Amino acid sequence: MSWTSLLHNPEGIAAIYQGAPPELSGVRVHEVVLYEDGPTLKLRLDLPLYPDRPPRKWAAQGFNTVQVEISLSGLRAITLDGFGTAISADVSLSGENGVTLNVVSPETHIRAVSDVAFISKLTAYTNEV
């Protein structure tokens, strides 16, 4: 089962990747933000693969990296152990008691349980690295 099957709104990411979005292994984690509204956790990361047929606007601008913001609303529990810079992590979503997010890297482990998960932002940019 794909991680997108647990999203409230998988249509956008499914369309960009023609129904086969990449697994969330070795993704670059840019940001983890907690909001009291919801309460909500937002995780911003770069997807590991660029789509074969990106939207025309992205192709015209020469973008090479897709960035997604996954939001977990109705946050019930969260644990955070360690953090750092330039985090490359394996991210997974599972349907245990709502939606459970796990972010695992050598320096960081995050586990969050929420009522719902959804894509709150889907963009692309030119990654110079």
Judging by beta carbons within 10 Å of its beta carbon (0-12, 13-18, 19+), is residue 21 exposed, middle or buried?
buried
Confidence of residue 85 (pLDDT cuts 50, 70, 90): confident
Closest CA to 93 of 12, 7, 13: 7
Q: Classify the C-alpha dihedral 101-39-17-124 as positive or negative.
A: negative
> Is pLDDT of 10 > 80?
yes
Residue 96 is predicted with a pLDDT of 74
In whole angstroms, give the CA distance from residue 87 to residue 11: 27
Mean pLDDT of the chain: 95
More confident residue, 1 or 13: 13
pLDDT above 70: percentage of residues in the chain? 99
> Is pLDDT of 129 > 90?
no
pLDDT, tens digit, for every residue of 42-82?
999 999 999 999 999 999 999 999 999 999 999 999 999 99
DSSP string for 61-117: TT--EEEEEEEEES--EEEEE---SSEEEEEEEE-SSSEEEEEE-SS-EEEEEESEE
SS3 breakdown of the chain: % helix, strand, coil, rounded to 5?
10, 45, 40
